Amino acid sequence: MARRDFRETVTVAADLALVGIAVTVASLPVLTAGAAAHAGSVAVRDIIDGCAVRPAELWRVFRRSLLPGAAATVATAATAWLLLFNLGAVASGRVPGGLPVLVGTGAVAVALLAACAFGVVHLAHHHSWTGALRWAAGTVWRQPLTAAMVAGVSSIAAVIGALIPVTLPMLVGYLLFAVHVVVARRLGAASPVAADA
């Protein structure tokens, strides 16, 4: 029994690593990152549900998400760049405001990161991009602790990826899995995972 559980764990870990590698490769053109994250999230949902990952379905999801995913990628990248620029300007003293503005800008950055993660999870459960955006934005403000947990998990993955760059593609799959689990466990019936179960 224990041996079978170990094999299952190794299989799931390998599947998640493959999902992460596939998402990373599919994101290399940059504008395809949103579509790749959507398809990767669907694959992780299937792994969590114990279903077989269906490449044909993932390819269909990826194709359908190219246009809205590109728009989401551009909007997210522009907002992230603006936030990083503001953080740098306040931290260096070029912009007045000091610590309060720095903390406020950091909080907005954390909220944006959590909203992106929530949206990707919501998309995996057959919701529209607009619906996912609305749900994610509302959830960030209604569930600040969950948003902080998602941001924390994402930060840990980013630090590991920065320290050991070769693991970065695999970490993408593990991060998608972690976000799905956090959303399902923290939000319960309010999560798209529980709603579809």
Predicted confidence at residue 46, as pLDDT, reads 92
pTM of the full predicted structure? 0.82
Instruction: Tell me the per-residue pLDDT of 48-97, one tens digit each, with 9 for 90 and over.
Output: 988 888 899 999 999 999 999 999 999 988 988 888 888 788 777 777 76
Identify which of 16, 92, 85, 29 has the alpha carbon closest to the alpha carbon of residue 62. Answer: 29
Phi, psi of 77 (to 5 degrees): -65, -40
Sequential pLDDT tens for the chain (197 residues) = 344 467 778 888 899 999 999 999 999 999 999 999 999 999 999 999 888 888 999 999 999 999 999 999 999 889 888 888 887 887 777 777 677 877 888 888 888 888 888 889 988 886 688 888 888 888 888 888 888 888 888 889 989 999 999 999 999 999 999 999 998 888 764 555 544 44
